[in-house]
Structure formats: structure tokens, C-alpha cells
Structure 1
Amino acid sequence: MFRVIIADDEKKVCQLIRMLVDWDKYGMEVVATAGDGMEVLDRIKEYRPHLIISDIRMPGLNGLEMIEKAREVEKELEFIIISGHRNFEYAQTAIKFGVNDYILKPVNREELQVTLSRMRDKLQARVDSQITSRQIVTDLAANKGRLRNSFSSMLFKNLVEKQKLKIETVNSEFNYNFKEGVFQVVCLKFYHVKAAEREIYPALEGKAREWFYRLFHELTYDYACSFQNNILFGLINYRKENQLTVKRNLKAFVNEVISQDVILNLVEVTVGLGNAVSDMEQAEESLKKALYAIQQRIIPGSLKVLEYEQKDSRPFTESREFGDFNRRMISSIEKLELEQVRKEIDGLRRILLEYPGITGHEILQMTKEVLNIYLLTLKENNILISGGEKLLPEFNENADDCVSIQELFGLLKKTLEDSMKQVLEDKKQASIRPIRIAKQYIESNFKNSVTLEEVSSQVGFNTSYFSTIFKKETGFTFLEYVTMLRMNECKRLLRETDKSIASICEEIGYSDMKHFAKCFKKYTGLKPNEFRKLYA
């Protein structure tokens, strides 16, 4: 609603104007009336109106003086002047002050309605114009934001060519304000995000950007940041003399902000700081070192600011300890000795913690190498593993979410245990599969003169080996199993049919009646005819 103030030194005139029209029809509301120019100014400050309908001559301040002072309070105020014929010259002067509408006394309803209609259209057009202007500003700001975001996203995916990493180019094409000085990559890595409450993840990026802003907006010329794979990447650009302040602020941030934040009580955070470089083209180098620094968390744990440090000691992979471990591990995997593999993993953890100059990066890479050794050993020994192609990628992803050596080696041990148990189960199933096939063949052919050699041939084993594993898996020798099937079928036929014992003997695969009767008596303790009398 457009707010209206009516001003006239005669109260009856104010009341008349108020009563003449349906103000709602014009989207207007009379919020106050005033009897003199000074009161009008007070009401303007109080109600912030859009429109003043005022007599041109009033005590205190005349209409023209009031218009001039009112415009100082509200520049966009609109006025409708009420004037008698004798004051028409005043009305013309008011028009020079930008007042385009006036009504002659006595006020006529129709004239007032036409004037108000015209004024409503004018006020609405102004509102629409302001909305459009604000939208243009918003769209421009959003477009600038999109440009900045596209650059930061590409930068931290290494999709920006080095030759394009010029301050002037980036500033002009992506709306940044980088300057000559120091460039440095900062990474805030969040862990255990998957395990956190579901509502946390959507809030995490916004929270991370807020922290980044608080940390760097006053210290830097400008910065680029992007949230990818639970890491907030940031390239900050600042004066060289602020380098110590940047580190100090980061440490204070970890100690004071992160440890007290509600969201971060549900996840873990490590800050990795790349090396400071003087040229934006070297941002990739700083990024690599910031990511390397994050991997150092494996030793001190999360909630730390970690910087890249050059290592001069011999890599663990070149040590005698690694060679010995490698040989023992391969031997244990080849024999599928699960308990020995567990012991080797525990031993490796102790060795790594005691190894001089060991880094978190090396420990993380070593666990991935152990899994590589496992998979390669299985392959070289033709040991199949179901889901083996997913094992390493899934481990790598989960390992990158670990914050301590205890958690990392717990993951490694569980991964190997689960996989080896599956391999052992698969191997067991593979060994009993021929027996399953053999049983099915015997059950389909026991009424015939089926032989051990015939069944062994069906499953591709020699008779000696087949006989051994058949006894191991079923608890019966081949002959005992065939006899059991024949006797069970004989008992069924004796109970359920009137067939002669001779025909039953022949039907279940016996050619010698005496041998059949002897086997049946041995198996059941009864002669065939005795069994029939008892159970038929």
C-alpha cells in the first residue's frame, strides 16, 4: 500500500478529502493528517509516506517551503497540491519544484479520482523500476559470483593452463582483485563426513566458506575458494609482510573456532598449508604441497595446521625392514594364512612408527602399497577374488578419510581380513563344487551300474583324488553313498508299491538277488519281506 498524508489548515477539508474516495481501490492508505507545514514535516519523518496531498498555503510553513524541506527528508516524495483560483501562480511555482499534479478548490470527487489514478500509476512504475534495478544489480552480482566460482573450481582441478594464470587475465576475465604479492594454497579437509548426521553435509560447505571469509577477507587482496570432495581449497593473495599473521590466524582458528563449533563436533578437520609463492603460475606447486601436508595428519591426528616439510631421510620402501616385511607378507598371502597376515600388519605399524623421519604421507602410501601387494600376490597365484576390482579404490577412498595411524591400520586389517575370508570361502565352495556335481550325477544314475571311474571322469578328477575328497566332504565312501541311495529307494518301493522284491532288486541296480538281500539286511537289520510286513 502507498502511504498518504493529507495536509490543510482546515480540518473539514482534510476529512472531506479522506471521505471522498475509496483509497483501497488505488492501493493507498491515509496514514495521517496535518494542519500546518511543520506538522507535515513531523508526520513525514514518522510515517515515511509516498504521497502528500497539501494545501498550497498553510500557517507555519507555506506549501512551497514545506515541499522544499520535505524533499530533503524524502527525495522521492510525490505531491498533489490543492489550490484556490487566486493562488494559481503558487501552483505554477510548485510545478517548477517538480510537483506535477494539482487540484483546484473546491475539491471535486471525479477530479480527485483521476489524479489519484494517475499518481498510483506513477508510484507503481517507480516501484517496478526499482525492482528491475535491484534485479539487474542482483543478476550482475550473481554473474560475477559465477565467474569467480568457475575459475576457482577449474583452478583446483588443474584445468587452468599456466599461461592463463596471469593476474591481469584472471582479474579481467573472472572478476578478481589479485595483486602482486604472495600466493598460497590453504586446504581445510573434513573427515568422517559420511558418518555424521545427514543434515550436516549440506551445511558444511556454507560453514566452511564462512570460516574462510572470517580468516582472510581482511588479510588478503583477494582469494579464490572451492569446495570439492570434502575439502575447501583456497588460494589466498596477500602482502608478504602478512605471512606470519596468516599462520597465526590459522592456528588460532583451529584452536578457538573449530574446537568450539557445533557442526565440527560431528566431523574432524585438518588444515594443510602449501608453500608461499610469488607468482600465481606456481599455484599448482603450492596446491600439491598443501595436499601433501594434509596427509601428515596420520601421525599427529586432526585439528592441526600442517605445513609442507622437505624430507631428507631415506624412504621406507628402500629400507631392509620393508624388504623383509614384503617377503613375509607375500608368503602369508600365498598360503592364505589369515592369522599370520594379521600379525604382519601389526608388526608393520610398529616398524613404521619407529622408523627415523617417517612421514604421514609415507604411512598412508604404505597401507595402499600393502593392499597392492595382496592383490598382486593373489593374481600371480591364480587365486580369484570376487569384487577384487573395487577393493583398492574403496580402500583408497576410506583411507583418505582416516585421521590417525590407529584408524588407518584398523581399516587395512579389516579390509584384508574381510577379503581373505571371502577368498577362503570361495576356495572352499570351489573345492566342494565337484562333489556337488558328483552327488547330483550319482542321484540321477544310482539305479544303473554306476562306477567310481565313471563319476570321477564326470568331474575331471582321477579316482584316487576324487575318492579322498568325496569321503572328506560327504562322510561316505563312494560305495557307501551309492548303497545308501539304493537302500532308501528300496524302502520307499517296499512301503508304497506291490512290486515284487525281485523286480525292486533289479530296479534299484542290483543284478544278484542274494547280494541285494544281504546288503538290505545289513543296512536295515531286516530282510526285505520282513520290512514290507512291518512298514507297508
Structure 2
Amino acid sequence: MYKVLLVDAAQQSKDTTINLLAWRELGFSLEDHASTRVEAMAMFARQPYALVLINMKCTQVDGIRLCQQIRETSRVPIILLGGDNDFQLARKAMCYQVSDYLPDPISPDELQASLCRVERELEEFIGAESKALTILPEDLTTPNSAPSNIIDKVKEFVEESLHQNITLKEISNIFHFNYSYLGQKFKSHENMTFNEYLLQKRMEKAKFLLEHTDMKIYEIANEVGYTEMDWFYKKFKAYTGVSANEFRKMISITA
């Protein structure tokens, strides 16, 4: 079942859209609704959606702006509903690679055909994702692995590569995943962004090394992926509230 976010400012048109088709029979779950662009982006950031439906009848400017904001982080399919049969509006929508634009009056047959096209795109994407998981390098996965296992593989990669300059962009290339999609999937799974997770792992390892080894601080910084000492000092103090030297002194006093 593909999860859909419906964005519509008017309750009446929202209900009309919901009653237009037998959504679940077509494989789509139309249970999440947003009334404003801000609310829609907040919901979109909290969980992944397979499709976004935007009713353009009330606020065409906000609808196009929402498309723009979504496209800054995601390639999720977008279908625009309602509004005028305006060439300029359709042209703007094309700039953000929407899957379809269905002006009023909305035909159930046309909407169903559009959903079928989106479903084919999603199936092709999932198929490509699963295929990519079977050809990852360094034996990081095995055939028939579930797509959700990619997050565990990313975390394993981080653990083994903390001493290197790691970026999600590079990891997505290694794992043959879309960068924006992987970022969203990671945040949904871990309740934090990849960069927040990476910082946490680096700082916790630095704390461990400060407490349990006699390594010099510049050696510890290199061990957790920092070549610039000033940047390491800044990040460590922001994370712990004290400098690396102060942290080591505190540990030695309490030991």
C-alpha cells in the first residue's frame, strides 16, 4: 500500500478527492491530509510518502511553492489537482517535474490513469532499489535483502570509516541509492539526520578514546575523521559543553 499525502486547504474539495476513487483498491492509502504548505512540509519531513497530491484550486502560488520545496530534497511523485487549465501554471509545474496536472473538472478515469502511471514508476524504482542491494560492493548485502536493511549497511559503513571524510553523498554513490531518498529514509529510521548521527558517533568515540587511552588529542581527532584541530575542538565543545582537555581532566579526577 502506497502512502499518500493530500494537501488541500478546503474541506469540501478534500472530501471530494477522497470520495472520487476507491483508493485502497488501487493500492494507495489516502489518510494523511495537510491544509497548508507549512503543515505539508512538516508532515513530509516526519515520514516518507510515495505520492503527494496537491489541490491547486484555492492557492496556486502556494501549490507551486510546495512543489519547489519538495523538490529541494525529494523526487517523490507529485500530482496537481484542480485549478484552471493555465498553460503558464502547467509550465511552472513541469519545471518541478510533477507527474501530472489535472485541472478542473477532474475526471475519475484520468486520475486513475495517472495513479497507474505513478504506480508503475514506483514499482520500477523499488525494483531498481532491490537490484542495487544485490550488487553492493565489499559483500555489504546478500541477494533478497529487504530495502530497509540499507540503513543498517550505512551504519556499518560509518562504524568502519569514522577516521575518513564521510559524506552521505559518497555513501549513496557507493550503495547505488538516490542521495535525497537515502537521507529521508535514514532520518525516518533513526529519528535524526545522517549528519547528526555521524557527529554523535564521532564525538562518542572521541570521548571513549580520551577516557581509555593515552592518545594525544590531535591523534584522537584524526581517528574520528577530523584533520583540522580547530574544527574538532569546536565540535567537541559544542557536543559535550567542555573542551577535550577539560573532559580528560574531569575523567582523571573522577577515576
Aligned counterpart, 1:72: 72
Amino acid at match of 1:3: K
Aligned counterpart, 1:6: 6
Tell me if structure 2 keeps the 8 A contact 1:6–1:53.
Answer: yes
The alpha carbon displacement at 1:86 in A equals 4.5
Per-residue CA deviations over 1:287-335 (Å, capped at 9, x if unaligned) read: xxxxxxxxxxxxxxxxxxxxxxxxxxxxxxxxxxxxxxxxxxxxxxxxx
Greater C-alpha Rg:
1
Q: Say if 1:117 and 1:144 are closer, same or farther in 2 by CA, change over 3 A.
A: closer
Tell me if structure 2 keeps the 8 A contact 1:81–1:91.
Answer: no
- Give the Cα–Cα distance (whole angstroms) in 1 for the partners of residues 86 and 35 of structure 2: 18
User: What secondary structure, in the 3-state scheme, does the structure 2 residue paired with 1:49 have?
Assistant: coil
Q: Say if 1:13 and 1:143 are closer, same or farther in 2 by CA, change over 3 A.
A: closer
Per-residue CA deviations over 1:475-515 (Å, capped at 9, x if unaligned) read: xxxxxxxxxxxxxxxxxxxxxxxxxxxxxxxxxxxxxxxxx
Tell me if structure 2 keeps the 8 A contact 1:31–1:47.
Answer: no
User: What secondary structure, in the 3-state scheme, does the structure 1 residue paired with 2:14 have?
Assistant: helix
Per-residue CA deviations over 1:366-424 (Å, capped at 9, x if unaligned) read: xxxxxxxxxxxxxxxxxxxxxxxxxxxxxxxxxxxxxxxxxxxxxxxxxxxxxxxxxxx
The alpha carbon displacement at 1:58 in A equals 4.7
Aligned counterpart, 2:248: none
- Give the Cα–Cα distance (whole angstroms) in 2 for the partners of residues 41 and 143 of structure 1: 34
- Give the Cα–Cα distance (whole angstroms) in 1 for the partners of residues 3 and 109 of structure 2: 21
Query: Which of the pair has the greater relative contact order for Cα pairs under 8 Å at 6+ separation?
Result: 2
Tell me if structure 1 keeps the 8 A contact 2:8–2:34.
Answer: yes
Aligned counterpart, 1:107: 106
- Give the Cα–Cα distance (whole angstroms) in 2 for the partners of residues 143 and 46 of structure 1: 28
Q: Say if 1:22 and 1:142 are closer, same or farther in 2 by CA, change over 3 A.
A: same
Aligned counterpart, 2:94: 95
Amino acid at match of 1:94: A
Unaligned 5+ segments in structure 1 are 146-213, 219-248, 250-536
Tell me if structure 2 keeps the 8 A contact 1:38–1:60.
Answer: no
The alpha carbon displacement at 1:59 in A equals 4.6
- Give the Cα–Cα distance (whole angstroms) in 2 for the partners of residues 15 and 94 of structure 1: 24
- Give the Cα–Cα distance (whole angstroms) in 2 for the partners of residues 143 and 33 of structure 1: 38
Per-residue CA deviations over 1:183-239 (Å, capped at 9, x if unaligned) read: xxxxxxxxxxxxxxxxxxxxxxxxxxxxxxx9xx99xxxxxxxxxxxxxxxxxxxxx
The alpha carbon displacement at 1:80 in A equals 0.3
Q: Say if 1:115 and 1:77 are closer, same or farther in 2 by CA, change over 3 A.
A: same
- Give the Cα–Cα distance (whole angstroms) in 1 for the partners of residues 43 and 12 of structure 2: 19
Which structure 2 residues correspond to residues 128-167 of structure 1 after superposition, within 5 A?
128-137=127-136, 140-142=137-139
Amino acid at match of 1:70: I
Per-residue CA deviations over 1:138-174 (Å, capped at 9, x if unaligned) read: xx433999xxxxxxxxxxxxxxxxxxxxxxxxxxxxx
Aligned counterpart, 1:119: 118
Q: Say if 1:133 and 1:28 are closer, same or farther in 2 by CA, change over 3 A.
A: same
Q: Please say if 1:15 is aligned against 2:15.
A: yes
- Give the Cα–Cα distance (whole angstroms) in 2 for the partners of residues 11 and 53 of structure 1: 14
Q: Say if 1:125 and 1:132 are closer, same or farther in 2 by CA, change over 3 A.
A: same
Q: Say if 1:58 and 1:72 are closer, same or farther in 2 by CA, change over 3 A.
A: farther
Aligned counterpart, 1:414: none
Per-residue CA deviations over 1:315-362 (Å, capped at 9, x if unaligned) read: xxxxxxxxxxxxxxxxxxxxxxxxxxxxxxxxxxxxxxxxxxxxxxxx
The alpha carbon displacement at 1:130 in A equals 0.8
Amino acid at match of 1:142: D
Aligned counterpart, 2:62: 62
Aligned counterpart, 2:52: 52
Tell me if structure 1 keeps the 8 A contact 2:83–2:103.
Answer: yes
- Give the Cα–Cα distance (whole angstroms) in 2 for the partners of residues 49 and 8 of structure 1: 16
Q: Say if 1:142 and 1:63 are closer, same or farther in 2 by CA, change over 3 A.
A: same
Tell me if structure 2 keeps the 8 A contact 1:4–1:29.
Answer: yes
- Give the Cα–Cα distance (whole angstroms) in 2 for the partners of residues 27 and 84 of structure 1: 26
Which structure 2 residues correspond to residues 176-325 of structure 1 after superposition, within 5 A?
none
Tell me if structure 1 keeps the 8 A contact 2:60–2:83.
Answer: no
Aligned counterpart, 1:373: none
TM-score computed with the length of structure 2 as normaliser: 0.51
User: What secondary structure, in the 3-state scheme, does the structure 2 residue paired with 1:20 have?
Assistant: coil
Aligned counterpart, 1:24: 24
- Give the Cα–Cα distance (whole angstroms) in 2 for the partners of residues 113 and 70 of structure 1: 23
Amino acid at match of 2:126: V
User: What secondary structure, in the 3-state scheme, does the structure 1 residue paired with 2:135 have?
Assistant: helix
Cα RMSD, aligned residues only: 3.1
Tell me if structure 1 keeps the 8 A contact 2:9–2:36.
Answer: yes
- Give the Cα–Cα distance (whole angstroms) in 1 for the partners of residues 107 and 131 of structure 2: 36
User: What secondary structure, in the 3-state scheme, does the structure 2 residue paired with 1:110 have?
Assistant: helix
User: What secondary structure, in the 3-state scheme, does the structure 2 residue paired with 1:105 have?
Assistant: coil
Tell me if structure 2 keeps the 8 A contact 1:37–1:59.
Answer: no
TM-score computed with the length of structure 1 as normaliser: 0.25
Tell me if structure 1 keeps the 8 A contact 2:71–2:96.
Answer: no
Unaligned 5+ segments in structure 2 are 143-158, 163-212, 214-255
The alpha carbon displacement at 1:81 in A equals 0.9
The alpha carbon displacement at 1:87 in A equals 3.2
- Give the Cα–Cα distance (whole angstroms) in 1 for the partners of residues 37 and 141 of structure 2: 48
Tell me if structure 2 keeps the 8 A contact 1:56–1:91.
Answer: no
Q: Alignment identity in percent?
A: 19
User: What secondary structure, in the 3-state scheme, does the structure 2 residue paired with 1:85 have?
Assistant: coil
The alpha carbon displacement at 1:90 in A equals 0.8
The alpha carbon displacement at 1:55 in A equals 2.1
- Give the Cα–Cα distance (whole angstroms) in 1 for the partners of residues 140 and 38 of structure 2: 47
Aligned counterpart, 2:253: none
- Give the Cα–Cα distance (whole angstroms) in 2 for the partners of residues 119 and 60 of structure 1: 22
The alpha carbon displacement at 1:57 in A equals 5.6
